[in-house]
């Protein structure tokens, strides 16, 4: 069945909207495959604006992995801004893909990647614009399978009504497995309709279909149990783990947008997973084990990627990039190779204790030494023991004094407020730390022209972490604590003017907390917020705390729970958590012990260089740590001119 492009109708609307280029597609390295020659078609969405969604590595990787397959096509769609949304509704233009401007409803799968829960209302906008019923139960054979992935999908319960299924973990192999199941089902003439297809997916144990599970509640509002309601559906759904990153060198042909986006660089994921064990960090917990890409694999990806894109910056991505076993050789090798070409290198996540000045020098050979960023996260030594981010103040001072001594003028420090057991005193110590940094900086640089910026936001407890049981600090207490810290910093006559202070107030964190640790009852709140006009909740200018609270008050009371119950309430060991039936590999008892260790201020080492701590992932998922060193070197390429 031919599917028409909506572009002619969209085109007439574009002169009336801001930045129309974001809706036209045609990016370098984008792919348009013939519709009729493909039997499985994916629409991939990053549910935020194009400028944020386009550089997303997850979507880019899956787009390429799927399009490389014969008979399979993948196109991309992003959230449209409210100016275009209004026009699309007025002129009946449906949600479209930017590649060939086909209506999202015409695809077999509508896959959404959620890096954050704040994209949920945008999903509802897209579904509605696409003409797809908002709730799974109302969909028919004319609708695509709505599939959620990304880190937020590790607790998909708040969106259980709206999605047909969810996949947790790495997507590269999972999308291909799902494709084959859909292909077979379509080839057989779609026996048993949507339910049969979803059942086939669920049976694999790697696709979660919320409709096949019933949630039973206790009289006090807690969950009694979550139980499959169909024979053959597994009790727990496993995460997917790609082993050997060198076999998956994606993206090979990164998309190069015409519109301006948040990251304009060639990104290479140098390893996946992290076992530093920071207890607040969901990413570090759910992406275990550590799997390094080899130095030669990285070198090839950078070379091909730069050729394919023309970017002038290479980002070496991971959760803690300086922890790669061969990071020194990688940085030096790349800096040597691209010295002539004015290519800059960046390591977006660098731990204080893994930083060294040789590495920093390599990274800035082609760039300026404007700023370094570190994330101690906690202001006091005690706090950093609780969160297991063991960076000592001496480490930090030593590192920044090296930096200031080597020509850097600005250090940014990231912190969180509202960590478990935190007191005002813990947060106020951030001010002392900043003062010490400036004092040392002035001493080693011999200049008063140096700066330190303190950036701090509210902590949100996340599923599948040791802090999943922790009470979240209320917005009011968070704000009060941040105000005290601000006053302390501003009040420092000698150093205050050299210290910048940036903070996020506590309100967005409460909504994020509600969505992060929510259960199926939160779906009604999300829908009410969407229907009340809620969009782009990750954007300060669009986010409305009052709307979320109003909608929660309107929809939750019948169910015996409220926002505080989901956010500031501490959970007990016995409580069934909404995401317990989604298996991240982490042993729940290990997480509980780690939570108890946190309360006792006991640290846990990294299993890369100490014995295993039995977090459970490797035996449960049949995986293992993959790290170097490989001993190989990255040779400069002879550039053919």
Enumerate residues 6+ apart whose C-beta is below 8 A from 558: none
CB of 95 to other proteins, least distance (A): 18
Token pair recorded at residue 163: 């999605």
Q: Which is nearer to other proteins, 16 or 540 (CB)?
A: 16
Q: Which is nearer to other proteins, 148 or 334 (CB)?
A: 334
Q: What is the DSSP string of 186-244?
A: HHTT-TTHHHHHHHHHHHTTSSB-GGGEEEEE-TTSSEEEEEESSTT--SSEEPB----
What's the rounded Cα separation, in Å, for the pair 412 and 265?
21
Token pair recorded at residue 524: 């009604």
CB of 255 to other proteins, least distance (A): 11
Q: Which is nearer to other proteins, 98 or 123 (CB)?
A: 98
CB of 419 to other proteins, least distance (A): 39
Report yes or no: 320 and 351 within 8 Å, Cβ to Cβ. Answer: yes
Q: Which is nearer to other proteins, 84 or 134 (CB)?
A: 84
User: Is residue 26 involved in binding other proteins (CB under 8 A)?
Assistant: yes
Give the number of other Cβ atoms within 10 Å of residue 232's Cβ.
10
What's the rounded Cα separation, in Å, for the pair 98 and 30?
10
- Contact flags string 277-306 toward other proteins, x per CB under 8 A: -----------------------------x
Binding positions for other proteins, 526-555, rule CB under 8 A:
none
Binding positions for other proteins, 368-387, rule CB under 8 A:
368
CB of 371 to other proteins, least distance (A): 15
What's the rounded Cα separation, in Å, for the pair 581 and 586?
12
Among the residue ranges 13-21, 111-119, 128-136, 387-395, the one whose residues contact other proteins (CB under 8 A): 13-21
Report yes or no: 500 and 465 within 8 Å, Cβ to Cβ. Answer: no
What's the rounded Cα separation, in Å, for the pair 168 and 288?
13
User: Is residue 637 involved in binding other proteins (CB under 8 A)?
Assistant: no
Torsion of CA 58, 64, 66, 72, to 10 degrees: 140
CB of 273 to other proteins, least distance (A): 32
Among the residue ranges 26-34, 147-155, 164-172, 422-430, the one whose residues contact other proteins (CB under 8 A): 26-34
How many residues belong to the site for other proteins (CB under 8 A)?
A: 31
User: Is residue 191 involved in binding other proteins (CB under 8 A)?
Assistant: no
Among the residue ranges 17-25, 464-472, 532-540, 581-589, the one whose residues contact other proteins (CB under 8 A): 17-25
User: Is residue 14 involved in binding other proteins (CB under 8 A)?
Assistant: yes
Could you tell me which of 117, 110, 118, 154 has the C-alpha nearest to residue 136?
110
What's the rounded Cα separation, in Å, for the pair 347 and 360?
9
Among the residue ranges 218-226, 307-315, 439-447, 530-538, the one whose residues contact other proteins (CB under 8 A): 307-315
What's the rounded Cα separation, in Å, for the pair 59 and 78?
11
Helix 523-531 vs helix 120-130: angle between axes, to the nearest 10 degrees? 60
User: Is residue 312 involved in binding other proteins (CB under 8 A)?
Assistant: yes
Q: What is the DSSP string of 464-487?
A: TSGGGGSPPPPHHHHHHHHHHHHH
Q: Which is nearer to other proteins, 86 or 593 (CB)?
A: 86
**Among positions 31, 100, 115, 309, the unique one binding other proteins when judged by CB under 8 A:** 309
Alpha carbon 135 to its chain's center: 25
DSSP 557: G
Sign of the torsion formed by the C-alpha atoms of 305, 306, 308 and 311? positive
CB of 310 to other proteins, least distance (A): 3
Enumerate residues 6+ apart whose C-beta is below 8 A from 132: 104, 105, 110, 139, 143, 144, 146
What's the rounded Cα separation, in Å, for the pair 305 and 300?
8
**Among positions 21, 242, 439, 618, the unique one binding other proteins when judged by CB under 8 A:** 21
CB of 94 to other proteins, least distance (A): 18
Taking phi over 0 as left and psi of -120 to 50 as alpha, with beta for the rest, 67 belongs to alpha
Among the residue ranges 21-29, 163-171, 174-182, 382-390, the one whose residues contact other proteins (CB under 8 A): 21-29
**Among positions 3, 176, 259, 439, the unique one binding other proteins when judged by CB under 8 A:** 259
Q: Which is nearer to other proteins, 89 or 307 (CB)?
A: 307
User: Is residue 227 involved in binding other proteins (CB under 8 A)?
Assistant: no
Among the residue ranges 11-19, 78-86, 187-195, 433-441, the one whose residues contact other proteins (CB under 8 A): 11-19
**Among positions 307, 490, 497, 633, the unique one binding other proteins when judged by CB under 8 A:** 307
**Among positions 87, 176, 243, 256, the unique one binding other proteins when judged by CB under 8 A:** 256
Q: Which is nearer to other proteins, 145 or 334 (CB)?
A: 334
**Among positions 188, 216, 260, 570, the unique one binding other proteins when judged by CB under 8 A:** 260
Residue 102, classed as helix, strand or coil, is: coil
Among the residue ranges 127-135, 210-218, 256-264, 557-565, the one whose residues contact other proteins (CB under 8 A): 256-264
Q: Which is nearer to other proteins, 16 or 633 (CB)?
A: 16
Among the residue ranges 4-12, 104-112, 281-289, 464-472, the one whose residues contact other proteins (CB under 8 A): 4-12
User: Is residue 99 involved in binding other proteins (CB under 8 A)?
Assistant: no
CB of 405 to other proteins, least distance (A): 20
Q: What is the DSSP string of 302-371?
A: HHHHHHHH--SEEEEESSSGGGSTTHHHHHHHHHHHTTTTT-EEE-S---GGG--HHHHHHHTTTS---E
**Among positions 184, 218, 227, 258, the unique one binding other proteins when judged by CB under 8 A:** 258
Report yes or no: 393 and 353 within 8 Å, Cβ to Cβ. Answer: no
Q: What is the CA radius of gyration of the chain?
A: 25
What's the rounded Cα separation, in Å, for the pair 445 and 450?
8
Q: Which is nearer to other proteins, 344 or 457 (CB)?
A: 344
Binding positions for other proteins, 313-352, rule CB under 8 A:
341-342
**Among positions 308, 397, 428, 439, the unique one binding other proteins when judged by CB under 8 A:** 308
What's the rounded Cα separation, in Å, for the pair 179 and 41?
9
User: Is residue 7 involved in binding other proteins (CB under 8 A)?
Assistant: yes
CB of 257 to other proteins, least distance (A): 8
User: Is residue 27 involved in binding other proteins (CB under 8 A)?
Assistant: yes
Binding site for other proteins (CB under 8 A): 7, 11-12, 14-16, 19-21, 23-28, 256, 258-260, 264, 306-312, 341-342, 368, 641
């Amino acid at each position: 069945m031919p599917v028409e492009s909506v572009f002619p109708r969209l085109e007439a609307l574009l002169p009336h909207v801001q930045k129309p280029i974001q809706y036209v597609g045609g990016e370098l390295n984008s792919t348009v495959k013939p519709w009729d020659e493909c039997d499985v078609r994916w629409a991939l969405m990053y549910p935020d604006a194009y400028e944020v969604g386009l550089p997303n590595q997850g979507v880019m990787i899956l787009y390429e992995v799927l399009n490389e397959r014969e008979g399979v096509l993948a196109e991309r769609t992003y959230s449209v801004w409210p100016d275009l949304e209004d026009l699309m509704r007025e002129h009946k233009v449906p949600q479209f893909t930017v590649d060939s401007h086909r209506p999202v409803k015409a695809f077999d799968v509508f896959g959404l990647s959620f890096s954050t829960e704040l994209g949920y209302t945008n999903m509802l906008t897209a579904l509605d614009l696409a003409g797809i019923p908002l709730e799974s139960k109302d969909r028919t054979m004319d609708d695509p399978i709505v599939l959620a992935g990304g880190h937020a999908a590790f607790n998909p319960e708040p969106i259980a009504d709206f999605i047909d299924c969810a996949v947790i973990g790495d997507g590269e192999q999972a999308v291909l497995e799902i494709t084959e199941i859909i292909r077979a089902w379509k080839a057989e003439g779609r026996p048993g309709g949507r339910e049969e297809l979803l059942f086939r997916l669920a049976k694999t144990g790697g696709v979660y279909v919320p409709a096949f599970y019933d949630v039973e509640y206790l009289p006090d509002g807690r969950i009694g149990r979550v139980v499959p309601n169909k024979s053959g559906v597994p009790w727990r759904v496993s995460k997917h783990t790609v082993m050997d990153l060198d076999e998956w060198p994606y993206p090979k042909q990164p998309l190069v947008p015409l519109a301006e986006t948040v990251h304009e660089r060639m990104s290479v994921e140098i390893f996946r997973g992290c076992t530093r064990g920071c207890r607040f960090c969901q990413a570090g917990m759910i992406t275990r084990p550590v799997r390094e890409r080899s130095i030669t694999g990285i070198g090839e990806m950078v070379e091909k990627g730069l050729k394919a894109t023309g970017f002038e910056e290479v980002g070496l991505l991971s959760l803690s990039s300086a922890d790669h076993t061969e990071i020194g050789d990688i940085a030096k090798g790349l800096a040597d190779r691209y010295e002539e070409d004015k290519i800059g290198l960046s390591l977006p996540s660098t731990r204080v204790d893994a930083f060294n000045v040789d590495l920093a020098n390599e990274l800035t050979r082609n760039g300026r030494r404007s700023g370094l960023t570190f994330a101690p996260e906690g202001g006091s030594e005690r706090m950093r023991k609780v969160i297991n981010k063991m960076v000592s103040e001496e480490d930090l001072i030593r590192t920044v004094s090296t930096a200031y001594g080597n020509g850097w003028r600005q250090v940014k420090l990231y912190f969180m407020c509202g960590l478990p057991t935190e007191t005002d005193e813990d947060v106020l110590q951030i001010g002392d730390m900043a003062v010490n940094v400036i004092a040392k900086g002035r001493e080693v640089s011999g200049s008063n022209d140096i700066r330190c910026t303190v950036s701090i936001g509210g902590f949100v407890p996340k599923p599948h972490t040791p802090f999943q049981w922790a009470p979240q600090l209320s917005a009011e207490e968070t704000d009060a604590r941040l105000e005290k810290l601000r006053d302390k910093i501003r009040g420092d006559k000698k150093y205050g003017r050299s210290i910048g202070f940036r903070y996020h107030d506590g309100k967005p964190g409460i909504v994020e907390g509600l969505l992060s640790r929510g259960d199926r009852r939160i779906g009604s709140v999300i829908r009410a917020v969407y229907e009340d006009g809620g969009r782009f909740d990750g954007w300060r200018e669009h986010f409305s705390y009052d709307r979320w609270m109003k909608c929660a008050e309107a929809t939750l009371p019948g169910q015996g729970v409220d926002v505080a119950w989901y956010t500031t309430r501490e959970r007990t060991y016995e409580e069934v958590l909404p995401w317990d039936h989604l298996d991240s590999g982490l042993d729940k008892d290990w997480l509980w012990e780690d939570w108890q260790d946190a309360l006792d201020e006991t640290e846990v080492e990294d299993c890369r260089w100490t014995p295993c701590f039995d977090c459970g992932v490797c035996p449960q998922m049949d995986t293992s740590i993959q790290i170097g060193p490989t001993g190989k070197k990255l040779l400069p390429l002879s550039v053919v001119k």
